[in-house]
Structure 1
Amino acid sequence: MGHGKGTESRVWAGYVRPSLRPPSLMPVARVPLFFLLLSLALPAAAQLRLSAPLPTSAKASGGGTEFYLEPVTSDGALGFPVGVAASPDGRLFVAEKNGRVKVVHADGTVPSTPFLDLPDVYPDGDRGLLGIELHPDFPETPWVYVLYSVDDSPQPRPDSRSRGYGRLERYRLSESNPDVADLSSRQILFGESYEDGIPSCFNSHTIGTVAFGHDGSLFVGAGDGASWAEVDPGGLYPECFGENLVPEEQDQGAFRAQWTASLAGKILRLDPETGEGLADNPFYTGDPTDPESKVWALGLRNPFRFTVGLRDPNLPTAPGELFIGDVGWGSFEEINRARGGENFGWPCREGPRPLPAYASATPPNAALACEQPRAGVVTGPLAYFHHYLPDQSSPGGRVAFSITGGAFWDGDAYPERFQRRLFFADYSTGWVLAAEVNEDGIVAVEEVLSETYGLVDLTQDPVSGLLLAVDIAQQRIVRLQHSGSGVNPPVARAQASLRYGVVPASVEFTSEGTFDPAGGTLTYEWSFGDNTGATGTRVTHRYDQPGTYGATLTVTNSSGLTSQTTIPVTIGNSMPEVEVLQPTSPL
């Protein structure tokens, strides 16, 4: 999540410069990606065909790593998935941006009834339901935590980008059906109103991750809630502040990140039972309800995804180190390490450098200005990646545009050299890196995948030991597999010449992107969802009746292992008529 300045192309969860944008992600006319994804969420009969297909595969980056992505859910089985939490019982709990939480069973099936459908979610822009976490003792302690954006003010909203707030709440599993929430158990931990929520005065840099520390404390990430389009020192969006809205003293723009009396631009550390700050937090005031008492680290622009490091056996009661992906503005993406009390410098610094645009800006609270002393000494990033110049990145050799803070891997599913490595991704450039981290910082980096555009969350599955990723571009969950991890099934991928049409509709299906990790021979069987089928790598089928069909490709390798993928195809009686109400002028 986040943006660059000025006229740069806008994509959900980051931004991509026109000169470097991945062609398969960007539609024509420089349409923002969240509008592209919005079009994918429309009812089937109202879909329009886009000229640029979404990516369907990832490439191993060489060096003998041989990683690949294996689908857990079918393409399109989920709607705008943005976060995933994995349960020891084999289920996955997936947060969808528009406010639903869905359960994915171990076989990849998704029940038709969602676990939770939040009525108050405000999904404008980069807002929405963005964070999900399970209690550390789940499912024995059956709490599910959700972090989302709200705008419940009765006042008219003059600009959808300029008002909202973040809320954290939790729900128990229903005793009668563990695949749905007990709505009567709802508990708001913070964000009952604008006054105690995370300020969101622009439709980006809002909220992100919620994660448990090793000591049972709960960490929450919050962006600065300021504009990505211009320097925002405060005063740009007065409609966000006032009675029954964000308190007026919070009108400090990006400088909220430097103010411990604001929850914005921070990592928070909370009591998971109450949402209050903890007494050993670095800015604790004596009152656990004070904003300062909740702050763990400050000076962050958009810490959309972070992870808790592996447990240190020498510090068994410590919450753990945080590794934070902070999405940048004009020049750098960052990975930061937080142990408590750090100030990472935003908006006065970005990457390794001071930021002149904000150095000359003065917020209403002049004590927050860049030339003033601030809480703590500024801590530099563990790693940073320049948007254009790979030689100015550290580690060098690559650029990035929208960092997805990742997950540590610890297990036996991958080669030994990846033990205790930090895996993280860049949403826009499509790489996935595995980094060796020690006390001094990142000492080695290996690129394990490329062209994996659209990854917005990473976590380790406690059952399989594999890393899981949320692929918002394909609207699915995937596993990060390694071809040297034993006997692996083939990976089925399918394409359709159209997903929506009118009768009679002739659809060409291909198995492009399908492969066998062992390099064996594959057979291809198609079922078109209307009691007919075919074999081959490329087939054509005609639908003569309206309806929604699941066209399934089953591939089998020489060892008898199989894999399936399904493409939904919707055929109607006639094409819809689409009336464009917004925008009223050309994009």
Structure 2
Amino acid sequence: MRGIRFLIFIVFVLLCDDAASQVFAQPGFSASNIGSGWSQPIGAAFSKDGQKLFVWEKAGKVFVCIRNGSGLYDKQATPVIDLTYEVANWDDHGLTGFALDPDFAANGFIYLLYVVDRRFLMNDGTIPIDKERVATIGRLTRYQTIVDAGDLVADTLTRLVLLGETKSTGIPVLHDSHGMGSLVFAADGSLLLSAGDGATYNGADVGNNGQTYYVQALADGIIRGQENVGAFRSQMLNSHNGKILRIDPQTGNGLSSNPFYDASAVRSPKSRVWALGFRNPFRFTIRPGTGSTNPSAGDIGEIFLGDVGFRTFEELDIIKSPGMNCGWPIFEGHTFEVPPSGGELAYSAYDTLNRDEPNPLFNGGSCTPRWFRFRDLIKQATADGIKNVYNPCNPAEVITSGNTNRFYHRRPAIDWQQFENVSRLPIFTGNLAATAMLGTPASNATGTPFPGNCSLGGFWYTGNLFPTQFRNVYFHGDFGAKWIKAFTVNFTDVVQKVDNFASNIPALVFMTENPLDGTILYVDIGVNAVKRITYGGNQSPVVKMTSDVTYGPSSLTVSFTGNESYDPDGASVTHLWNFGDASPTSTAADVVHTFTSPAGVPKKFVVTLSVQDASSVTVTDSIIISVNNTPPQVEITSPIDNSFYALGSDSVYAFTSTVVDAEHSSSQLRYEWQKSLRHNNHEHPGAIDTARITSGAIARIGCNGESYYWFVRLRVIDGAGLSSIDSVKIFPACSSGPLPLVLRSFSVSPQGSENLVRWVTESAMEVKSFDVERSTDGRHFVSINHQNANASAGINQYKFSDNNFPPGTNYYRLSMTEIGDVIKYSAIVKLTSDRQSESLVISPNPVVGNFSVKYVATVNGPVTLRVIDISGKVLKTLNETVNRGHNLIYVQNEPTWKAGIYILTIHQGNEIRQGKLVKAE
């Protein structure tokens, strides 16, 4: 077992205001939540009149919120549609795109873009639901909504598959990310959607990559043999991957005004392609007021798109014309894709063949191979705008293949470097492409260079609620860097200015504007929130509520505080407490309430505090109080925390745990497993698995110059509302030598007149020695024991008995000296001996019958009391909950205890206190 356990008690929130999470660059802006109870929300869309707000969740549910008289939105409890049985919800995949028909008010059509669960795709009931790391497809469907019993719902009988009706006609999904993106209607009524390249993100993928599911995809017919080229599918006209696609929303066919339309194959990828050369174009929008209303004109307006970078640069792309090619994977950002120094080849150096495009000059002798290479079919932009590329077998012969835009690199409007303050705009030096740093005279744009590492996309702001600086600008976000910036872009689509708008947004995945009031809505999947940004005017009040305890035996008296709630506008607020037990409400700011339940019956009470400002805007927060209940004790037993994996193909890990709940049986507990891949400074969260014992596929990736590790989390909720969380991390083993040290545990426990120090290590072959250090103030430590490290691999156990510690409080830590004299330290453990009488008093002492323990706690929370004999054997264990300050714990004397001296300990967090207990005859 690990020495330090983290137990988190979860408070369910009905409507919390965590607006402090984001930081605005200018005063006057505020954020508040819309609705509650979201589970991995990933996007939102307003009806044209702004009266309806649709929110879709990654797992496959869509909800509608109706605007009320206060200008806020009330969530309909019944989903508009639930496609969780069909949607593959794992890693980055799920229901990512949603759109309302432009004539939704009349026809009620909704459109959904998602990855299909392989079980559903193959019609094979033996495949587990949400089976991970398998080949599948992206699908686009349309439903018509109706009103049924007062609820807006989809009529499932109206289902129409527009794209992906079979496994061979969908958008190939061959890895854990780079799947489906967005759905957007153009002014001409055509429907556009974005799709990623379907390649692995862990190194170059030019086909036959063992990290992907290409073998399965080929066997199933999900991809053709020609498409087994990894990221180069983005450059193939007859592949859906890495594209912006444009279709007829009535049929799913490509439109005749598309740049590569083939009248003999209207549903082919080629007929649907509008733009190409993208890696992961997750979010895009069309600049308002651009584009024709005639679908035959082939003028849909100007697409603003975020393309997620690979190794170096993130992009903001602007697509103005059909057939434009943003260059991936030959180009990343403004320049050729460049691998790490000493690493693999750049994509532009590969001779990968486009076997959809034969070279007409091939003769088997002087002109080989039979097909063009991908790098033969695109050139860097030049000032003269000439788009010709030439046959490698005859430099004088121009390659012709449809719209020539595809041969010419459409450079980003701006790119920015990962983790470096580098932001570049496109310029030319003579006839050659070049770049200028944002803010320099050569760039003709003002702003400060900035970093990022996951370009999201955004929207054009057309409202007038915000200050002039933020009107008629394009807002763009970066998921990894957690920012939103405002880009001023002129009528020629040149970036002129970049302003900071908001930062510290945990996991931004979507933004849009409310057409009614000019507020901004954004979706944060990290905190399961849909948020509204407003400026000036009346701001929503902020609820701040706390309780001194959240659980305990009946009758449980709880002190609640709400006096820190406030109105950002400075006006007074009113309070309304509802205790969830049918008792009278209270309008006091701070209240005390007693909760009761029959003996032995755990019961949950949801206590709400509603705070209202002078304009009658109300915000509500809640806390669960659980009577006759304690939280479950949770420990993940597999995977092992801080363990390592060797690089290779995917591995399936067993997910097991030890869970103890004093009041509930196993059947009354709800389990929520979730694994997430943490990449650099952002996270790819997986789906929630509610099985008690389950498993998960772990992609054994990493060691490519970027940070990767897996985070596995288990939350267990009991039947009366309390929950606890445990988590573990799994890292790639990037060293060719011994795996790095893992300190599995470090603990200090009283054993009679000694304090026993124990520690357990794993793979400590790089460690020379250990020193146990002690302090009386927690700051100044001295070594009290030195031990050489065991050089053997695997798990090693160490111990030391401290029999010369001073009375009162002592602090212990472990100093670990690695080869090369690198020193690392463990966490500090605090232990208090029996001579600290004021904070732990046993009465009476000596004891004959039952006795009490007065314990002075520094914080609220759970404690564990143990009675230990002089041999170190634990005779009695009690789990209690204490409040900060003085507590009295009653202990029942056991007749089996013989007369003599015992040690009584109380553990709270990392702190251990002990006292001497004398048992009389």
Could you say which TM-score interval applies, normalised by the shorter chain? Answer: 0.7 to 0.9
Taking the aligned partners of 2:609 and 2:153, their CA distance within structure 1 comes to 30
Deviation string 1:456-496 (CA, Å, 9 cap, x unpaired) is 1111222333221112122232111112xx33332446678
The residue number in structure 1 matching 2:256 is 279
| Residues 132-151 of structure 1: pairs in structure 2 closer than 5 A | 132-150=98-116, 151=118
> Against the structure 1 CA distance between its residues 160 and 368, is the aligned structure 2 distance closer, same or farther, given a 3 Å change threshold?
farther
The residue number in structure 2 matching 1:473 is 526
- Per the alignment, in what secondary structure is the counterpart of residue 186 of structure 1? strand
Which one of 143, 154, 159 corresponds to residue 181 of structure 1? 154
The residue number in structure 2 matching 1:400 is 452
Taking the aligned partners of 1:148 and 1:198, their CA distance within structure 2 comes to 10
The residue number in structure 2 matching 1:381 is 412
Taking the aligned partners of 2:303 and 2:697, their CA distance within structure 1 comes to 44
Where in structure 2 are there 5+ consecutive unaligned residues? Answer: 1-7, 339-345, 356-370, 379-405, 426-437, 439-447, 630-662, 672-691, 699-728, 731-921
The residue number in structure 2 matching 1:297 is 275
The residue number in structure 2 matching 1:199 is 172
CA contact (8 A) 2:259 2:274 kept: yes
> Against the structure 1 CA distance between its residues 584 and 510, is the aligned structure 2 distance closer, same or farther, given a 3 Å change threshold?
farther
Deviation string 1:146-170 (CA, Å, 9 cap, x unpaired) is 1111122257879822412100011
| Residues 79-98 of structure 1: pairs in structure 2 closer than 5 A | 79-87=39-47, 88=49, 90-98=51-59
Taking the aligned partners of 1:72 and 1:381, their CA distance within structure 2 comes to 34
Aligned residue-pair number: 532
* Displacement of 1:204: 0.5
* Displacement of 1:570: 8.1
- Per the alignment, in what secondary structure is the counterpart of residue 196 of structure 1? coil
CA contact (8 A) 1:68 1:449 kept: no
Which one of 68, 81, 95 corresponds to residue 116 of structure 1? 81
The residue number in structure 1 matching 2:95 is 129
Which one of 294, 319, 322 corresponds to residue 300 of structure 2? 319
Does 2:495 correspond to 1:530?
no
| Residues 142-161 of structure 1: pairs in structure 2 closer than 5 A | 142-150=108-116, 151=118, 152-153=121-122, 160-161=132-133
Q: Greater relative contact order (Cα 8 A, min sep 6): structure 1 or 2?
A: 1
> Against the structure 1 CA distance between its residues 570 and 522, is the aligned structure 2 distance closer, same or farther, given a 3 Å change threshold?
closer
Which one of 164, 168, 172 corresponds to residue 144 of structure 2? 172
CA contact (8 A) 1:219 1:270 kept: yes
* Displacement of 1:267: 0.5
Which one of 63, 69, 76 corresponds to residue 31 of structure 2? 69
Which one of 305, 310, 327 corresponds to residue 345 of structure 1? 327
* Displacement of 1:127: 0.8
Where in structure 1 are there 5+ consecutive unaligned residues? Answer: 1-46
Point out the more displaced range, 314-323 or 528-537: 528-537
Taking the aligned partners of 1:209 and 1:306, their CA distance within structure 2 comes to 7
More strand by share: 2
The residue number in structure 1 matching 2:243 is 266
The residue number in structure 2 matching 1:216 is 189
> Against the structure 1 CA distance between its residues 482 and 491, is the aligned structure 2 distance closer, same or farther, given a 3 Å change threshold?
farther
Does 2:625 correspond to 1:563?
no
* Displacement of 1:322: 0.8
* Displacement of 1:358: 1.9
> Against the structure 1 CA distance between its residues 96 and 122, is the aligned structure 2 distance closer, same or farther, given a 3 Å change threshold?
same
Taking the aligned partners of 1:509 and 1:405, their CA distance within structure 2 comes to 43
Taking the aligned partners of 1:552 and 1:290, their CA distance within structure 2 comes to 55
* Displacement of 1:242: 2.1
- Per the alignment, in what secondary structure is the counterpart of residue 428 of structure 1? coil
Deviation string 1:68-98 (CA, Å, 9 cap, x unpaired) is 2121113xx1111111111126111111111
**Amino acid across the alignment from 2:278:** L
Bigger Rg, structure 1 or 2:
2
* Displacement of 1:362: 4.5
The residue number in structure 1 matching 2:877 is none
* Displacement of 1:231: 1.4
**Amino acid across the alignment from 1:371:** R
CA contact (8 A) 1:259 1:368 kept: no
- Per the alignment, in what secondary structure is the counterpart of residue 104 of structure 1? strand
Which one of 541, 544, 551 corresponds to residue 490 of structure 1? 541
Does 2:467 correspond to 1:421?
no
The residue number in structure 1 matching 2:510 is 457
Taking the aligned partners of 1:146 and 1:401, their CA distance within structure 2 comes to 28
The residue number in structure 1 matching 2:375 is 371
The residue number in structure 2 matching 1:29 is none
Point out the more displaced range, 340-349 or 409-418: 409-418
CA contact (8 A) 1:163 1:201 kept: yes
**Amino acid across the alignment from 2:337:** L
> Against the structure 1 CA distance between its residues 534 and 360, is the aligned structure 2 distance closer, same or farther, given a 3 Å change threshold?
farther
Taking the aligned partners of 1:164 and 1:285, their CA distance within structure 2 comes to 26
The residue number in structure 2 matching 1:519 is 570
Point out the more displaced range, 339-348 or 397-406: 397-406
Which one of 539, 553, 574 corresponds to residue 664 of structure 2? 574
Q: Say what the alpha-carbon RMSD is for the aligned residues.
A: 3.4
**Amino acid across the alignment from 2:501:** V
CA contact (8 A) 2:351 2:375 kept: no
CA contact (8 A) 2:307 2:314 kept: yes
Taking the aligned partners of 2:612 and 2:60, their CA distance within structure 1 comes to 37
The residue number in structure 2 matching 1:335 is 316
CA contact (8 A) 1:58 1:449 kept: no
CA contact (8 A) 1:153 1:244 kept: no
> Against the structure 1 CA distance between its residues 289 and 370, is the aligned structure 2 distance closer, same or farther, given a 3 Å change threshold?
closer
**Amino acid across the alignment from 1:215:** D
Taking the aligned partners of 1:514 and 1:450, their CA distance within structure 2 comes to 24
Taking the aligned partners of 2:9 and 2:123, their CA distance within structure 1 comes to 34
Deviation string 1:486-531 (CA, Å, 9 cap, x unpaired) is 33332446678999x7876898877799653423344444434334
> Against the structure 1 CA distance between its residues 89 and 409, is the aligned structure 2 distance closer, same or farther, given a 3 Å change threshold?
closer
* Displacement of 1:302: 0.6
CA contact (8 A) 1:56 1:513 kept: no
> Against the structure 1 CA distance between its residues 535 and 139, is the aligned structure 2 distance closer, same or farther, given a 3 Å change threshold?
same
Does 2:208 correspond to 1:235?
yes
CA contact (8 A) 1:358 1:370 kept: no
Deviation string 1:32-90 (CA, Å, 9 cap, x unpaired) is xxxxxxxxxxxxxxx9869xx997534443345x322121113xx11111111111261
Does 2:320 correspond to 1:359?
no
Compute the TM-score of the two structures, normalised by the length of structure 1.
Answer: 0.81
The residue number in structure 1 matching 2:681 is none
CA contact (8 A) 2:475 2:486 kept: yes
* Displacement of 1:370: 5.0
Identical positions, percent: 31
* Displacement of 1:186: 0.7
CA contact (8 A) 1:257 1:300 kept: yes
| Residues 24-43 of structure 1: pairs in structure 2 closer than 5 A | none
Point out the more displaced range, 357-366 or 343-352: 357-366
- Per the alignment, in what secondary structure is the counterpart of residue 342 of structure 1? coil
> Against the structure 1 CA distance between its residues 498 and 301, is the aligned structure 2 distance closer, same or farther, given a 3 Å change threshold?
farther
> Against the structure 1 CA distance between its residues 414 and 240, is the aligned structure 2 distance closer, same or farther, given a 3 Å change threshold?
same
- Per the alignment, in what secondary structure is the counterpart of residue 161 of structure 1? coil
**Amino acid across the alignment from 1:181:** A
Taking the aligned partners of 2:187 and 2:256, their CA distance within structure 1 comes to 17
